Structure 1
Amino acid sequence: MHKIIQKLFRMKNLIKDLGVYSHSLTEDGQNIIAYIMGTCTDSTVISWLQGATCQIEFLNVLLFVLENFGSIPEDLTRPDGRHIDIVFVAHGSIVDQFMPAGFLVPTPTIRDTILYSPWNCSIDSSAAFGIAQGNIQVTNREFYNTSNRLYCEPDPLPDHWNCMRESLHNTPGILLSPVTPEDEAWAFFHQFWMDRSMEIEDRIIIPYLVPQNMVNAFRQIPLYMFIFVISFVLMLSGKTATVHLAACLNRREESTLMPDEWRTQYAFTSDGTVMTVNMVTEMNSRLFIALRSLFDSQDRR
């Protein structure tokens, strides 16, 4: 336990000196990367961090997550003990490269990571709102195709959400792209960030939002790297979390895989399918308006 506390203090001191967002790798940033490369046992994370560009992106994402969490406690020997729910909101897509579901629950600080739509399926603002608020129910989900608006439920359709802690199969790689100032939703989410109003009790909503003057420093990044960053911050904060993803999981390009290969892990839908929810709830909030501008546009990325 003493060695663990020492490592946490070391990581905390490195992060404290990290500074601000950057387009280059600073000395403090190099020290953090060296520390992670020397202590991390996940070969996929280490492989991703080999390139200088990825290292810069990692450090910027680390700063981004820290800003959403607030300050790290001074006394790391007394864990906070709270369990929180973290909702990532972003543009999303999937690729053919499969990986163990365990990559999305890498440490005990992440109790679970929950995905909501089947593979190759988008979500609309109603589904995203339900995920963000935490009141989405399996029995409320509905599916339609954007080409004809006809109902098109996947067959078979699991009677549960796609929980990574319980999954025994490999999952497709999930890539998250940031919300940029070019997106209509950026202004809404930026105002939320300025107001510090993205936390609902023990539920924190984190849109992958690019700072206005740092557009080129934030690019597409694998979900597992976000989870990895979150797991470190949670260790420093003494908390545990369940991660929820509010993002589309459709393919950006034609896949060489057959649908049965995708269905092995959960469920797969035909191209152009969207998941929505049929719920009676208040939909006039600023959050719903922001989500509508992000998920209900014609350009589903």
Structure 2
Amino acid sequence: MDKHKLELFLALRLVEAFLEAMEKQAEILANRNAACRPESPRSSAERKRLINLAIENCKDETVLQWLRENSESGTFRKLSDMFDFLKSKIDEEEKKNHDDTVDIIFVAHGSIRDSMIPAKCLLPLPTITDLVLYSPWNCATTPDVTYGIATGKMRPQHRVFYRSLPFFFHSRILFDKYQPLNLPDYWNSLKKAEGRKIPNIIVSPLQPNDGVWETFKSLSTKHGPPGRNRIVIPFILPGESESVPFSVVCLALSLVLLSSRFKATVHFNACLSDKSTGRESDRKYLQEQYYCTEDNTVMTCSPDAFDVNWWDYFKSLFS
């Protein structure tokens, strides 16, 4: 890196630190204000009903313990809201010509925190058969990845990694392209993670100016929409930006599926950048669980991922 590039890099690092501090402070204030809002009697009663329903149908002792220990904490404060949001989406999909076994792609903004939970807590009920993470730990993603995951066209060989710096919120300047060493040639299946602990994943809604959903719609027009049995759920709540633990989303979704005809593999599309408030997550442990990239790493999708795969095309004609 020459002197000019180095100076630019250092200047952008200062901008990055400033923007991250602002973003983190805004999130802390938003969540603090939300936590101060009293829970309505209806929401409280519905939350308790849903947790009891989950306990009645849960088959795993680790998840049962997690449900009981957190039943009265703030962890599940948004459970009834997420249940209502996801139920409206699944009710619409049940009217379509899907099989009873489907792939659900949940699209959101995300990050990881230094607190850890058992991976099983993202598979709380048998209605979710597996949960697949695409981004390595401590790695951001670009909007192209959303389309690749939603259609199933993106395979491990299509991953392209860059070092980056943020430009504005949810936008990034991509710098040097590089390939992480010893990256697994498969995605991170939490069913295979079994009893291991993973970072607490936090999600927040997509926003009109972040370009994620607009890019997805543009690529769908150009290359074709996701096929049958693939249900894409963008986390879009007008006027809402409050973050939610992804474990709560998974619990709400598993409960919604309980009263539907579907069983699902869930595909999670979001950044998993490390936004710990205290110490950083245990990078060595995350490397062992799946993979953990260096700071400021972004994963995007190579353009050839969206080329027509004639074998998949012919198979789709007979499915």
Whether TM exceeds 0.5 here: the answer is yes
1:239 & 1:187 partners in 2: Cα distance? 25
The answer for the alignment partner of 1:17 in structure 2 is none
The answer for the alignment partner of 1:90 in structure 2 is 108
1:98-109 → structure 2 map (5 Å cutoff): 98-109=116-127
Higher helix share: 2
Find 1:141's aligned residue among 121, 146, 159.
Answer: 159
CA deviations 1:191-230 (Å, max 9, x no partner) are 99xxxxx974211111111134xx3xx6211111111111
CA deviations 1:136-185 (Å, max 9, x no partner) are 1011112110157223322321111000011142211111011245x344
The answer for the alignment partner of 1:50 in structure 2 is 72
Return the offset for 1:71: 6.0
1:63-74 → structure 2 map (5 Å cutoff): 63-70=84-91
The answer for the alignment partner of 1:158 in structure 2 is 184
Return the offset for 1:107: 1.6
Find 2:283's aligned residue among 256, 259, 271.
Answer: 259
> Could you tell me whether the CA contact under 8 Å between 2:100 and 2:262 is conserved in 1?
yes
- SS of equivalent residue, structure 1 residue 38: helix
| Structure 1: gaps spanning 5 or more residues | 1-21, 74-79, 193-197, 284-301
- SS of equivalent residue, structure 1 residue 264: helix
* Residue 208 (str. 1) matches residue 223 (str. 2): no
* Residue 127 (str. 1) matches residue 145 (str. 2): yes
> Could you tell me whether the CA contact under 8 Å between 2:50 and 2:80 is conserved in 1?
no
CA deviations 1:28-80 (Å, max 9, x no partner) are x444323234344334344444257953x22111111011112698xxxxxx9
1:17-28 → structure 2 map (5 Å cutoff): 25-27=40-42
> Could you tell me whether the CA contact under 8 Å between 1:186 and 1:209 is conserved in 2?
no
1:118 & 1:271 partners in 2: Cα distance? 12
1:71 & 1:267 partners in 2: Cα distance? 36
1:258 & 1:32 partners in 2: Cα distance? 36
> Could you tell me whether the CA contact under 8 Å between 2:143 and 2:212 is conserved in 1?
no
Q: Percent identity?
A: 29
> Could you tell me whether the CA contact under 8 Å between 2:86 and 2:253 is conserved in 1?
yes
The answer for the alignment partner of 2:199 in structure 1 is 172
2:175 & 2:235 partners in 1: Cα distance? 29
The answer for the alignment partner of 1:38 in structure 2 is 52
> Could you tell me whether the CA contact under 8 Å between 1:119 and 1:250 is conserved in 2?
yes
The answer for the alignment partner of 1:59 in structure 2 is 80
Q: 1:59 to 1:224 in 2, by over 3 A?
A: same
2:108 & 2:99 partners in 1: Cα distance? 28
The answer for the alignment partner of 1:4 in structure 2 is none
> Could you tell me whether the CA contact under 8 Å between 1:144 and 1:274 is conserved in 2?
yes
2:176 & 2:212 partners in 1: Cα distance? 31
The answer for the alignment partner of 1:117 in structure 2 is 135
Q: 1:186 to 1:45 in 2, by over 3 A?
A: farther
1:94 & 1:265 partners in 2: Cα distance? 15
Return the offset for 1:282: 5.6
CA deviations 1:214-247 (Å, max 9, x no partner) are x3xx621111111111111111002100000110
TM-score (norm 1): 0.70
Amino acid at match of 1:274: V
- Cα RMSD (Å) of the superposition? 3.1
Q: 1:70 to 1:185 in 2, by over 3 A?
A: farther
TM-score (norm 2): 0.67
The answer for the alignment partner of 1:247 in structure 2 is 270
2:75 & 2:132 partners in 1: Cα distance? 29
Return the offset for 1:24: 5.0
- SS of equivalent residue, structure 2 residue 259: helix
Q: 1:54 to 1:171 in 2, by over 3 A?
A: closer
